[in-house]
Structure 1
């Protein structure tokens, strides 16, 4: 039995049904969420142990059954590293304060999603990291497995020639978490585009080169705002890689350009040109490399870029096998550069003639290593050599950091070199005059100190100069346009001691002092 609705109720019901149907008809269909981008994504977690993680997403070719992530982020306690590739080698999820980046690297399994994309999330401390992917690899160390770059995050410069060494070419930078601080690596962060310089892969004529024959490769970094017509030429930093790398190493893995850009941003370094060299395919070992620098590399750079031709405006640095080459330059070809740095290299003992040459270096010398570098007892031999040179009277900046034979050591060593030594040396000259003050025993002392940078620079030293008579501090004066002027009545007896001007240094320039003026 059906009950009839009143006419008005029936009309309202019909309108409601029609409205519902109409609303249903005009509602657009739900859209699927856009696919997540491939490549690495740094995610702030504010969770222990590091406060940040990186999600890697990778699309493997059809038919690949398993994909692993391969990267330099395994960690050990410093005291557990008793030999090369020894240590706890813990997963980054087990990172603890005080850990050092360890070797060897290991692979981590990735998972394939419903979209066919492989992914993994890894908690990471702050710093720059290299990584690659493996396909159907069963060896935990990726031994015998092909390493694949991340096509969503390739390095901007291709390998310089077919078969060039160095297989891991994708990198990611992780900032430091404020809640879970790990390492102070902000100096490695990529610069903002408006402050970034440029990288150029260059090929130059080289009669010495056997691979490629007759030509060789460089990577040149030009600082932001590089002016090919600047009246004051730029200083040049020449860098050498180690075994298994080539000309792209110092910018791809070492992020040397980012380290410099951050030092310039902080007012701790002046703009300079960086030349990353390649010792592969050069016969003659260390001596052959030196000949290549002198006869081919340096002339090519100085002819094609607005850089100074003065040796005091050149700096050199190299690690491992490149550190061995740095010692050859430092010991036997000292005058080719004004600044020298040898990193993660034991170094031979120096002869007296070599020591005498190093005492005359206009700029400075740095020797450093990773304190747990057991590869051929490098840590021990590097420190022994630095101490021996210092004892022989050579002014050596001896600076070491925790770590083994990895880029996690060479990046902070370069940062120290740029901020504390390279192109920072000064000289201070002093002119002194006195005149009597009435019939008193006092005299009016006029001392003019001139502070000059050893390296050609568009910036003059600033800060203050302190004036001493023996151990007695007479007073200070500000440095203006490289000159500090000091006028003061002093007790004439004080000037029986030699007067010395001591420049304190500033953000860009190191301290120096004058030769004692002699009794007046």
Structure 2
């Protein structure tokens, strides 16, 4: 078994000092990631610069730079299409009209209350792609845009020849490396081909409070753990997970820590939440402000298991292998009352599967942006068990899966969160619901993570089970 631990807070503080937030990944074979100290120094000079302008529309603007001297064209793709609630019709998806049309408002036209929403609105990250401009013949390509408060994902395309970027590989910002990428460009575990920035909010233009996402200089620690996983297919007989330990984590504390298990979505892996999800700064802020108690967060890899009914292979490995590993290597509780499970999209489906078939493993379940399989019926025993659990169901009002679920071809994988709430409540099971403006995207899931941990996980039940 192997362990990688990297504490990137010093780098995050340094980037924030020049007004850019900690980032996510450096990317693929075509990435501009630095491979030498000289290249690393050059990349650092081109970190994103966040400037407080005090001017409309947002009070802040961000300048992105990429050093690509051999490129003929460089483009940037950013998580900054927006929608305006007052102009949406319908406001939320319905079975008759499931897709809320997204206007694709650009940052220059942003107004207070606007929220990120892909255009066209779908489960795909359909964000704007615009050309960057080379600064003279310096090989430095730049793009400046206003942005409101919050965390934003972005990536570069270098010499992409297709209008829709099909067949082109996005490149992460080499000045904004993931926590699991070293200064030499070498990585442990997977990397995602994008980066993140955090932008503060100017209250004169943007009344929203996004400070709970802001990088913290002395926060917790992220570790990439590889563990023995007999029967796992890829990698063979082993698997990996990311573990977050809170600020001031004490391996000898008399009271063991509660544990939140947090699952990624489709097309992602164990690194998703700690990169695009901004897990560490969110948890750091919530813990350091006293809004949640210190906890350990485990982000397992849900991929690479043999085919099984209702994800049984994943569930068996999680309970039979990951639980004992965590209890042997970290100061975490062995009680279900101190364990919570949550996940987004495909991770929301895993949440439901654990909730239905391993109800006694966790006392708290947080389902994000998914739903139950079509035709799901609950047995009397499942109903009785779920009445004892604390259940959270959330998603984006404008998510295309909100009212009708998600299908691949003619196969419907789930019926959506709206129908899940109805199924559970019709059975007499109390559900804490949390629907926010947004689609099938990270701005929603970061918010739901905050809300699940502050409103449901490790808190007393908000309703009593029915008496017999």
Runs of 4+ in 1 over 6 A off after TM superposition: 511-516
What whole-Å deviation, never above 9, does each CA across 1:10-65 have from its counterpart, x for those lacking one? xxxxxxxxxxxxxxxxxxxxxxxx999311111111111111111111101x3210
- Structure 1 position 183, deviation (Å): 3.5
Structure 1 CA distance for aligned equivalents of residues 59 and 210 of structure 2: 15
- Structure 1 position 83, deviation (Å): 5.9
Q: 2:367 aligns with which of 342, 360, 369?
A: 342
Structure 1 CA distance for aligned equivalents of residues 156 and 89 of structure 2: 28
Matched, 1:190 2:197: no
Normalised by the length of structure 2, the TM-score is 0.78
Q: Which has the higher strand share?
A: 1
Structure 2 CA distance for aligned equivalents of residues 85 and 154 of structure 1: 35
Structure 2 CA distance for aligned equivalents of residues 137 and 321 of structure 1: 30
Matched, 1:410 2:449: no
Structure 2 CA distance for aligned equivalents of residues 36 and 295 of structure 1: 44
1:249-268 equivalent positions in 2, closer than 5 A: 249-268=272-291
Structure 2 CA distance for aligned equivalents of residues 243 and 418 of structure 1: 22
- Alpha carbons of structure 1 residues 151 and 327: separation in structure 2 relative to 1, 3 Å: same
Partner of 1:317: 342
Stretches of structure 1 that go unaligned for 5 or more consecutive residues are 1-33, 427-510
> In structure 1, the residue corresponding to 2:313 is in which secondary structure?
helix
- Structure 1 position 76, deviation (Å): 2.5
Partner of 2:102: 87
Structure 2 CA distance for aligned equivalents of residues 101 and 341 of structure 1: 22
What whole-Å deviation, never above 9, does each CA across 1:399-438 have from its counterpart, x for those lacking one? 1111110001101111001111111127xxxxxxxxxxxx
Structure 1 CA distance for aligned equivalents of residues 167 and 100 of structure 2: 18
Partner of 1:365: 391
Greater Rg, structure 1 or structure 2?
1
- Structure 1 position 381, deviation (Å): 3.0
Normalised by the length of structure 1, the TM-score is 0.71
- Structure 1 position 116, deviation (Å): 2.5
Give the stretch that moved more between structures: 342-351 or 135-144.
Answer: 135-144
- Structure 1 position 111, deviation (Å): 1.0
- Structure 1 position 330, deviation (Å): 0.8
Structure 1 CA distance for aligned equivalents of residues 102 and 164 of structure 2: 15
Matched, 1:42 2:65: no
> In structure 2, the residue corresponding to 1:369 is in which secondary structure?
strand
Partner of 2:417: 382
Give yes or no for contact 2:57–2:146 (8 Å, CA) kept in 1. Answer: yes
1:318-333 equivalent positions in 2, closer than 5 A: 318-333=343-358
What whole-Å deviation, never above 9, does each CA across 1:115-169 have from its counterpart, x for those lacking one? 33111111111111111111112445422212111111111114654xx57422x
Partner of 1:351: 378
Partner of 1:172: 197
Partner of 1:202: 225
Matched, 1:76 2:83: yes
- Alpha carbons of structure 1 residues 210 and 121: separation in structure 2 relative to 1, 3 Å: same
